[in-house]
Amino acid sequence: MANKKLRRTGMLPELCDRLDRHQIETCQDFLSLGPLELMREAGQSYQQVQTLLRTVSLACAPTMVTALELRDRRSHAFFPTSLRGLDAVLHGGLASGTLTEVTGPSGCGKSQFCMMLSVLATLPRTMGGLDSSVLYIDTESAFCAERLVEIAQNRFPKYFSLQERVVEMAQKIHLFRELTCQNVLKRLGGLEEEIISKKAGLVIIDSIASVVRKEFDTSIPGNLSERSSLLSQEAATLKYLAEEFSIPVVLTNQITTHLSRKGTAPSHLECNVPEGKESPVSADGESGYVTAALGNTWSHSVNTRLIVQYLDSQRRQIIVAKSPIAPFSVFNYTVQNSGLELEDGENQAGSSHQGTDPGLQPIRVRTAFNYCLTHTTPTSSHSTGVH
């Protein structure tokens, strides 16, 4: 609404012409000026300028809705993820109209989660799906169609036993491969039309971090603020789309090492993990820990943050780190043929309402563990170097 032309706000045409000569054509231009400047450019008195401000504001202000109307309007407000414990804590699933971020180390299951959600979205509503198509923006080339079909056939074997259903599901998932920041921005700009023409009910971007981190080197001064600005812009576009069409938007993020003074790293909830998690210590005594990438501003921009991390060689954990509706929760899961499967379905965070800063929550990565490999330990003949 900011770009609405002044001519369409009900202002007198002569006045619009006069303002055009000063390059004031849209509501945005008009409202960005102070009253004195407006008096000068429009040639009106103070009282008249106040009236004009009111006219222009009426033209581009949002309409009011009461919370009651909003509640009654939102019939399908949550998208179930089919991970029962997670859905219970999230009041039903991923909230439509908001941005949900999944972040964690590589290989932990973020892309698997996204592919699983894609399958779920195409299912009919009676089976917990959204009965709509999916727009999948892939920047890491992690999307694998065969894996998609494998997840579908293993998770819902009866439903997908018919080949036509598999084909139908695959046809509903629209994949876009974008490899630079500019392309991603352009794609987001055109997303509105795609959503309408393809009747999309879910937008997935996997991942939002990779292109940004490739192109912005934050050690160069000025790049950090430019990167934050770009990310905020992307977030604003996505939030607008999510809300306008009442759909959930899922993004994936990467991890980074956060260096801080020793002793100030926040303690996190210990959940049945073996001792011995060591954080890398650099030469001058600063210890670092791994946390979500893209910085503090980005942590503000997403509405929900789910962190995936390693628990041991087989099991992983999914943590609800930031949510407007759910408390801090931890669930164990494994990655199988059918996608992600929760263990036991019980929340291991306990009943306390504690948590940690979602921008600083330490994330466990794979290198911190020893693998228990299945083959035997080396025999003494090997250790002496004799073959």
Partner 1 sequence: MMQRDVASFAFAPAVKVRLISAGFLTAKDICDLRPTELSKEAGISQQEALEVLQEVRRGPAEQGAAESRLTALELLEREQALGTVITFCSALDQALGGGIPVGKTTEICGAPGVGKTQLCIQLAVDAQIPGCFGGLGGQAVYIDTEGSFLVERVVDVATAAVQHCTLITKDTEQREALQSFTVETVLSQLFLFRCHDYVELLAQTHLLPDFLSQHPKVRLVVIDSIAFPFRHSFEDLSLRTRLLNGLAQQLTQIASQHSVAVVLTNQMTTRIGQNQSMLVPALGESWGHAATQRLILHWEGKHRFASLYKSPSQREATVPYQITPHGFRDVQLPDPSVTPADPSLTPSLNSRKRPRGEEGDPSDA
The nearest distance, CB 56 to partner 1, in angstroms, is 7
The nearest distance, CB 341 to partner 1, in angstroms, is 27
> For residues 351 and 374, which CB has a smaller minimum distance to partner 1 in the complex?
351
The nearest distance, CB 15 to partner 1, in angstroms, is 12
Question: Under a CB-based contact definition with an 8 Å cutoff, are residues 361 and 268 in contact?
Answer: yes
The nearest distance, CB 2 to partner 1, in angstroms, is 4
> For residues 53 and 179, which CB has a smaller minimum distance to partner 1 in the complex?
53
C-alpha to C-alpha distances, 304 to 97, 307, 314, nearest whole angstrom: 11, 10, 26
Total number of residues shown for the chain: 387
> For residues 31 and 149, which CB has a smaller minimum distance to partner 1 in the complex?
31
Residue 103 contacts by C-beta under 8 Å, 6 or more apart in sequence?
110, 252, 253, 254, 255, 292, 293, 305, 306, 307, 308, 363
Question: Under a CB-based contact definition with an 8 Å cutoff, are residues 253 and 113 in contact?
Answer: no
Q: Is the dihedral of CA 81, 185, 139, 297 positive or negative?
A: negative
The Cα 275–Cα 289 span in angstroms is 16
> For residues 77 and 335, which CB has a smaller minimum distance to partner 1 in the complex?
77
Question: Under a CB-based contact definition with an 8 Å cutoff, are residues 39 and 49 in contact?
Answer: yes
The Cα 333–Cα 318 span in angstroms is 7
Per-residue b/e over 225-263, b at no fewer than 16 CB within 10 Å? eebbebbeebbeebbebbeebebbbbbbbbbbebeeeee
Residue 108, SS3?
coil
The nearest distance, CB 159 to partner 1, in angstroms, is 29
Strands, E, within 186-303: which ranges? Answer: 200-206, 249-253, 255-260, 287-292
| Residue entry with tokens 């080396």 | 378
> For residues 324 and 378, which CB has a smaller minimum distance to partner 1 in the complex?
324
The nearest distance, CB 103 to partner 1, in angstroms, is 13
> For residues 64 and 283, which CB has a smaller minimum distance to partner 1 in the complex?
64
The nearest distance, CB 356 to partner 1, in angstroms, is 6
* Residue 258 falls in which region: left (phi positive, over 0), alpha (psi -120 to 50) or beta: beta
The nearest distance, CB 67 to partner 1, in angstroms, is 4
Residue 278, SS3?
coil
The nearest distance, CB 105 to partner 1, in angstroms, is 20
The nearest distance, CB 379 to partner 1, in angstroms, is 48
> For residues 122 and 309, which CB has a smaller minimum distance to partner 1 in the complex?
309
> For residues 148 and 202, which CB has a smaller minimum distance to partner 1 in the complex?
202
Nearest to 326 by CA among 118, 105, 85, 69: 85
